[in-house]
Amino acid sequence: MKRTVGAFLTIALTTVSTVGCFNDDKAAKQLAPEGSKPTKFSISYTTTSSSGYYSRFSDLSQEKWVLKLGELTNTSLEVKVIEESKLPVMLAGSSIPDVIGSNGTPTSTTMSSSVEAGVFMQLDELLKQYAPNLLKHVPKAAWEAVSYNGKIYGIPNYLTVPSRRATFIRTDLLEKADLKPPQTVDEFLDVLRAFKNMGIEHPYLMRENLKYADLILGAYDVLPYRDQFEVVNGEVLPKFFDVEHMEKALQTYKTMLDEGLIAKDFAAISSADFLSFIRSGKAGMWSSNAIGLIDFRTSIKQAAPSAKVDIIPSPKGPEGTSGYFYYTPVISAFYINKNVKPETAARIVQFFDWMQTPEAEKFFTFGIEGDTYTVENGRIHYKLPQTKEAVEEEGWRSGMLWGAHDATANRLRLQLDQNGRDTLNALDNIVMKEGLPGIGFNPDLISFSKFQDLAPMTQDGAPKFIMDHIIKMIYGKEPISDWPKVIEEYRQTGGDEIIKEATERYNRQEGIVNLYKP
């Protein structure tokens, strides 16, 4: 997410300025005590792409942003980038860097049981001694997510706003209909009906597998996802076991389909089509990550110059719930090789702790004074990148290299124009106040791998068995009143084993991830 902010803002801005009031932090001074030699260590960053800014260099240790980062932190960095799919191969070898960045939590498939095997250090004591900023700012749920057997192993890129997703609306259409933003599911349907009568092709834009289209499931608190379990009468159950609210949610979707408030072929709308319909001005309401506000405002105006786009509170269900699932509050994490010398490990922890400071925020956001920004009368003037190459370079500096920080959004960057400020306001005052907490498991339940059709294998993906029935019921191929039969079949084909394991794990408090409101 943070790597796309630059691309969004490049469309909207050319040169911007902000007040520069950054002071050296104690953490930076600890990293570079007078006369000390730079601490040398190797570090690998993980990527999902085989190309990018980093691929232009045969030796990233000599790349200018790496060198400047080393100068600021009194370190000498040996840097490599590895594709996520190849990380297990590295972990299985004998040559493991001093620090490994991974998109996975300690027990994820990506980490290949390396934490359980003792490849990496426990960090609790090092963090207590050398990371006051991290301990102050990282949410409790993020520390839990990078822990194994109650001990911290990872230093996370974390989220302070775990909801992230938001409800978008074409405010110009809402004003034209002389309506207010909907607060309930019934009001939501009335707004969609008004949009349909105005000729909007997609009053509410849906897509395949209800991805970015699950606000009704959220309103009724029946999201069928990995970390959406709850305790009911002593059992830990998936939330879709709530028959009454699940049937009401399904009936709402069926009403939307029957009345033409969503596309007849919504189950076949791809992610590319989803974005294309939004940007071409064909959607009245939709769900997406809040950080997309800048992009949507900019792109939709090219198709509909009078368009106004805003984020609004998601419609509430009968029990006052609203919004979307909570993400696991860790985007990525860094692990320290157990063979690193104690004094080097301490400096590595300080290196990441420094990334919480104003000095670090200025560097990762704006770069180097005299190169990528200037200062006049105490104000920073920063010219945004205008080419693909420049955007990729900025993404390398402000994205990949910036570990151990709040990855919700680059707040300093977003403060530079009104669209960015509106995005921050939405994150802090709308998105933060909604969303569905739940119970998850780290590592995953063993029974998930045994009964894969019953397992939510991604954080925002419903079990195939459940999604198949949801789609059939929305299309009227199965009666919604048969939902109790779906639950019974789920139980009989492996669900009881999943529930038993989940309940036992919860009662032992073994590897439990509690996603809760901040």
Question: Which residue from 327, 331, 441, 326 is spatially nearest to 104, judged by alpha carbons?
Answer: 331
Question: What's the confidence (pLDDT) of residue 445?
Answer: 93
Q: Given pLDDT bands bounded at 50, 70 and 90, which one contains residue 18?
A: very low
Give the residue with greater pLDDT, 513 vs 285.
285
Say how many C-beta atoms besides its own lie within 10 A of residue 178's C-beta: 7
- Whether residue 516 has pLDDT greater than 70: no
Is pLDDT at 13 greater than 60 in this prediction?
no
**pLDDT at residue 97, rounded to an integer:** 97
Q: Classify residue 52 as exposed, middle or buried by CB count within 10 Å of its CB (0-12, 13-18, 19+).
A: middle
Residue pair 264/243 in contact (Cβ under 8 Å)? The answer is no
State the Cα–Cα distance between residues 439 and 506, nearest whole angstrom. 9
Q: How far apart are CA 346 and CA 103, in angstroms?
A: 23
Tell me which H or E stretch contains 330: strand 330-336
Q: To which H or E segment does residue 168 belong?
A: strand 165-170
Express each pLDDT in 325-336 by its tens digit. 998 889 999 999
Q: What band does 184 get if pLDDT is binned at 50, 70 and 90?
A: very high
Decide: 327 and 162 in contact? Cβ < 8 Å.
yes
pLDDT(472) > 80 = yes
* Distance between start and end Cα atoms, the chain: 20
**Tens-place pLDDT, residues 381-420:** 888 888 989 999 999 999 999 999 999 999 998 988 899 9
Distance of alpha carbon 373 from alpha carbon 367, whole angstroms:
7
CA distances from 203 to 211, 267, 299 (A): 17, 16, 18
- pLDDT score, position 32: 57
pLDDT tens column, 287-338? 999 999 999 999 999 999 999 999 999 999 999 999 999 988 899 999 999 9
For 475, the token pair is 């299309």
Mode of pairing for the β-strands spanning 99-102 and 39-47? parallel
Q: What is the mean pLDDT of residues 73-81?
A: 97
Residue 29 has pLDDT above 60, yes or no: no
- C-alpha–C-alpha distance, residues 174 and 185, integer Å: 16
Confidence of residue 344 (pLDDT cuts 50, 70, 90): very high
Residue whose C-alpha is closest to residue 255's, from 196, 171, 174? 196
Q: State pLDDT tens for residues 234-282.
A: 999 999 999 999 999 999 999 999 999 999 999 999 999 999 999 999 9
Choose between 514 and 35: higher pLDDT.
514
Q: What is the mean pLDDT of residues 121-135?
A: 98
Query: How many angstroms separate the Cα of 268 from the Cα of each of 13, 206, 412?
Result: 36, 9, 39
Residue 8 has pLDDT above 60, yes or no: no
From residue 499, alpha-carbon distances to 121, 148, 226, 236, 495 in Å are 33, 22, 13, 6, 6
239's tokens: 């939330």
Task: Name the H helices within 222-292.
Answer: 243-258, 271-279
Measured CA to CA in angstroms, residue 276 lies from 68, 150, 212 at distances of 40, 45, 14
* Structure tokens given for 336: 């320290």
Q: Say whether pLDDT at 225 is over 50.
A: yes
Mean of per-residue pLDDT scores for the chain = 91
To the nearest whole percent, how much of the chain has pLDDT over 70?
92
- Greater confidence (99 vs 22) lies with 99
* pTM of the predicted protein model: 0.86
Residue indicated by tokens 């049981």: 113
**Helices vs. strands in the chain: H and E counts, helices first:** 22, 18
Region of residue 260 (phi > 0: left; psi between -120 and 50: alpha; otherwise: beta):
left
Angle between helices 243-258 and 185-197 (to 10 degrees): 10
The pLDDT, as a whole number, for residue 494 is: 98
